[in-house]
Structure 1
Amino acid sequence: MRKVIHKNGTPGNDTFYASTNDDYYYSGRAGSDIIVTLAGNDRLNGDAGQDLVDGGQGNDIIHGGAGYDDLRGEEGKDRLYGDSGNDILYGGMDRDILRGGVGKDSFVFFTNNLTGRGSDLDIVKDFTVKGRNADYLGMAVAGTDGVMITTYDDLVPYMSQRNGDVHIAFDSGDTLIIENVRLRQINEDHFIF
């Protein structure tokens, strides 16, 4: 039976690797922290500083806090919140909810039609399309229809408008939904391949 384990970092730079599959509630506090957990349903917060937070397997809630953070949900139904700062958010496999918060954020999406392993369904809740805090979509797309997608022009056939959201749906079944954005607002400057 899994336990709930509460842990706190120090005001400095901390490195924390979970040693069990329990549910970890971890707060990094100040400093640039590395926080990595295994297969629990974790609640992780990098707090202030430039943090790397990896939830591993399980249904995790991950906050970056202030600073430029790298947040990774990995497997499981995860919720990632960049909070303030220019953050990188990668939901990983399964259905994930991504909120970048304040700052110029990058949302990473992966699909591979050859292996059938990808991001499944990611929903970006607060994509900023213009201005000094315009966000990015990092796309790693392999094997869709037997071709590599390496440019915006390659990607366009998979994009559509559904109600108020942009859907990018691949043959592998993986889908990225960008909420409250019109297709005409998206262009190649928003993508990193």
Structure 2
Amino acid sequence: MSTAPIQLIIVDDHPMFREGVRFALSAFHDIEVIAEAENGTQAVELAAELQPDVVVMDLHLPGLLGVDATRQITAQSPHIAVLALTMFEDDASVAATMRAGARGYLVKGADGAAIARAVRAVAEGDIILGPRVAKHVQELLATTPAATFTELSPREREVLALLADGRNNTDIAHSLDISEKTVRNHVSNVFAKLRVADRAAAIIRAREAGLGERHDRG
């Protein structure tokens, strides 16, 4: 039984770069490029219209910047995973992009196989960082105070409360009447915003804040 390919949109203001990414990904039959955008506004519009699985996003775009486009896309369609593919690898760019809801961050120069692996990972709800970025993030997490729960959306707070109750993704999806893929993306958002590495750490933070213990188990 075949699985439908991962559908994605490439966003970059340089046509030759978009063509290069499209060509590199054409070698992988489980990934399908369904559209391209040259600016952030187009990216938001195409994402809303086509509902891809993944958006590969440059950050330096004319008009609406990649970080702002990422924020709008993930707010409107939490199930869409955004993978940043950019020249920038400074702490500020990485932090802003991940806080905007991106699921992954690669620096341009990554080969087709690396991009494909990242696309698959973020499509599954995982967070992935290129090797040149990971060290920056480790240092950032070590020196940045933990986020407050006010950064979480109402839906993310619901998901976190259910996590704190010991629910798995299937249970959470059933309780909230959403797909498991959307749950995975919400969980990844929670990890990124709370700056924790796994479910156990998120649950500890939630219970310390009083979430989950009195949550309605339906």
Q: TM-score, normalised to structure 2's length?
A: 0.34
Q: TM-score, normalised to structure 1's length?
A: 0.37
Task: Give the structure with the higher percent strand.
Answer: 1
